Amino acid sequence: MKLHRVLLPLVAAAGMAFTGAAAADGVGVTAKPNLEKAIPNIPGKSLIAVEVLYPPGEASHPHAHAKSAFIYAYVVSGSIVSKVNDDPEQVYKAGESFYEEPGSRHPVSRNASKTEPAKLLAVFVVDSDDKKLTINDK
């Protein structure tokens, strides 16, 4: 599949270049844009990378992402507790990853540690005209 051949090298490049681009909004949680680039051979799609920094004990608000967003999340350091849709909560440690399919909800995203910071790289493949990547639950 063409998307698969394009996506893997782009994700690897984003991971090497890295820093971040939008998925936080918790008290003390910050999202730092890392990369935003239209995907030249997939018209209307962009790759956006965001570094999400979780201070000890902090969490982002329950949220969803742009409806078109496919998200690859890679834990750079520390440990992250994540819950996507109705799946059980899971702890991901540095070097581990997970994904969110388009239309997913992310009710839990928090640092697993009360004493150490954690860092996550979120890589979005999204419709280029989707400008709001994260929508907090009300």
- Domain 2-136's class? mainly beta
Among the residues of 1-138, which ranges form H helices? Answer: 2-17
Give the distance, in angstroms, between the CA of residue 118 and the centroid of all CA atoms in the same chain: 13
- pLDDT tens track for 64-116: 999 999 999 999 999 999 999 999 999 999 999 999 999 999 999 999 999 99
Tell me the C-alpha distance between 59 and 80, whole Å.
Answer: 9
Domain ranges of the chain: 2-136
Tell me the C-alpha distance between 106 and 119, whole Å.
Answer: 17
pLDDT of residue 130: 87
Output phi, psi for 28, to 5 deg. 85, -15
Tell me the C-alpha distance between 60 and 28, whole Å.
Answer: 9
